């Protein structure tokens, strides 16, 4: 298959150069590629491997291709909860009507996280006209569903439900506390920021970590003294999240640079990304260093975030990551290349249609379809 597409890519190249004959064939080439990618996703979904099916549905959502709506609707019935969740999220990218229909269907899902995601989808995509419907879930005995409903109503302007979002911050089950923090971050208004900052002094490290994650891109200058202190925290996860929390504060550059030499790979990565976001070209060498990090989770994180981090060496580093021996790194690199976009991404993704892993081929196909829109 690869040799076939290399030949077809040559036709496209000639078309871009102005060759009239090649240009007349280019549309047919692109149509065939689109059809092959759609077929690859549809056929790969028949896998008995739950992880592969979930990857296919996520890739179908990434494609933004309306012709894959039927595949995503089928995924709503998958027995694997993560697959159903990815199908729901994917429908949001291609059809608001189908996404809302799927969300209503999944509010009775046997998995609590799928149910709560469905309620959240109603709030995010339904608009004011579904407010009454969402209020019905305030009576749910499931804390995640009640939280999703309360947060959805707050985002729709009904501030009186903020108390229902804040109350679970003291819930005895840790996941409920963390979910409440996540919803505060998604609400994202100035009114929620003090509640997040108050958690910086919490005795539980995870509460500090999740509050920092919720704060990403929303930090204000008055928070900087506390963020400076947290950048020296003994827990590497807190240092990682602190770096990202400072990613919208140019005044934090002097505090981010030392984190690029942190002993923790993910902290170094977070600092380098944060510096890029505030317009600093410091520490770009970190991406190169992490390309050969011993921990595949660090390499995969680097490849994924590089898709949205426009450094001069991005194409070279992502190209190298596509050849990594670990499939998780190649998966992240394929998605990173898709986010990068452009003619170079097109060529790289076509080559990844030959990867030995079904999930990686699916992500390559999904990202190609998005580029072909």
pLDDT band, very low/low/confident/very high, at 321 (cuts 50, 70, 90):
very high
- Sort 157 into a burial class: Cβ within 10 Å, 0-12 / 13-18 / 19+: exposed
**Among 26-35, 96-105, 226-235, whose mean pLDDT is lowest?**
26-35
pLDDT band, very low/low/confident/very high, at 26 (cuts 50, 70, 90):
low
* Residue-wise pLDDT tens digits, 199-217: 999 999 999 999 999 999 9
- Average pLDDT of the segment spanning 233-250: 97
pLDDT band, very low/low/confident/very high, at 2 (cuts 50, 70, 90):
very low
Q: Is the model's pLDDT at 22 over the cut of 50?
A: no
Distance CA 39, CA 55 (A): 15
Query: What is the pLDDT at residue 16?
Result: 47
Q: Is the model's pLDDT at 19 over the cut of 90?
A: no
pTM over 0.85: yes
Query: Alpha-carbon Rg of the chain, whole angstroms?
Result: 22
The chain-wide mean pLDDT, for the chain, equals 92
Burial 345-366 (b: 16+ CB within 10 A, else e): bbbbbbebbebebbbbbbbbbb
pLDDT band, very low/low/confident/very high, at 55 (cuts 50, 70, 90):
very high
Q: Name the nearest CA neighbour of 253 among 224, 230, 233, 229.
A: 224
Query: What is the separation, in whole angstroms, between the first and last Cα of the chain?
Result: 22
- Average pLDDT of the segment spanning 271-279: 96
**Among 12-26, 48-62, 182-196, 274-288, whose mean pLDDT is lowest?**
12-26
* Residue-wise pLDDT tens digits, 256-274: 999 999 999 999 999 999 9
Query: What is the pLDDT at residue 307?
Result: 93
Query: What is the pLDDT at residue 354?
Result: 93
pLDDT band, very low/low/confident/very high, at 30 (cuts 50, 70, 90):
confident
Name the percent of the chain lying above pLDDT 70. 93
pLDDT band, very low/low/confident/very high, at 31 (cuts 50, 70, 90):
confident
Contact 233, 263 (CB under 8 A): no
Q: Kindly give, in sequence order, each residue whose CB lies less than 8 Å from that of residue 122, ignoring residues fewer than 6 positions away.
A: 100, 103, 104, 107, 130, 133, 134, 152
Q: How far is CA 238 from CA 161, 179, 224, 227, 235, in A?
A: 30, 17, 15, 10, 5
């Amino acid at each position: 298959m690869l040799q076939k597409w290399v030949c077809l890519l040559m036709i496209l190249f000639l078309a871009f150069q102005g060759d009239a004959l090649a240009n007349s064939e280019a549309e047919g080439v692109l149509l065939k590629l689109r059809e092959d990618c759609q077929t690859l996703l549809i056929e790969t979904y028949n896998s008995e491997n739950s992880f592969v099916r979930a990857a296919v549905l996520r890739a179908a959502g990434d494609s933004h291709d309306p012709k894959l709506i039927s595949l995503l609707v089928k995924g709503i019935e998958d027995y694997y909860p993560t697959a159903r969740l990815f199908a729901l999220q994917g429908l949001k990218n291609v059809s608001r009507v189908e996404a809302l229909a799927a969300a209503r269907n999944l509010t009775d899902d046997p998995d609590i996280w799928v149910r709560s995601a469905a309620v959240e989808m109603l709030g995010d995509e339904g608009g004011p006209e579904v407010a009454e419907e969402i209020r019905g879930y305030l009576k749910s005995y499931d804390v995640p569903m009640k939280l999703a409903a309360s947060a959805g109503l707050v985002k729709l302007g009904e501030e009186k439900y903020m108390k229902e979002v804040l109350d679970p911050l003291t819930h005895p089950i840790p996941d409920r506390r963390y979910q409440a923090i996540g919803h505060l971050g998604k609400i994202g208004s100035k009114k929620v920021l003090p509640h997040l900052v108050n958690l910086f002094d919490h005795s539980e490290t995870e509460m500090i970590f999740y509050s920092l994650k919720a704060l990403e891109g929303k930090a204000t200058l008055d928070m900087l003294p506390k963020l400076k202190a947290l950048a020296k925290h003994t827990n590497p996860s807190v240092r990682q999240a602190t770096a990202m929390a400072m990613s919208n504060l140019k005044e934090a550059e002097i505090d981010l640079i030392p984190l690029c030499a942190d002993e923790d790979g993910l902290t170094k990565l977070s600092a380098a990304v944060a510096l890029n976001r505030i317009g600093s070209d410091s520490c770009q060498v970190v991406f190169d260093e992490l390309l050969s990090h011993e921990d595949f989770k660090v390499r995969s994180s680097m490849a994924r975030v590089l898709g949205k981090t426009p450094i001069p060496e991005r194409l070279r580093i992502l190209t190298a990551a596509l050849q990594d021996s670990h499939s998780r790194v190649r998966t992240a690199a394929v998605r990173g290349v898709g986010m990068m976009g452009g003619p170079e991404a097109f060529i790289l993704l076509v080559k990844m249609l030959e990867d030995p892993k079904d999930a990686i081929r699916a992500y390559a196909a999904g990202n190609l379809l998005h580029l072909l829109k």
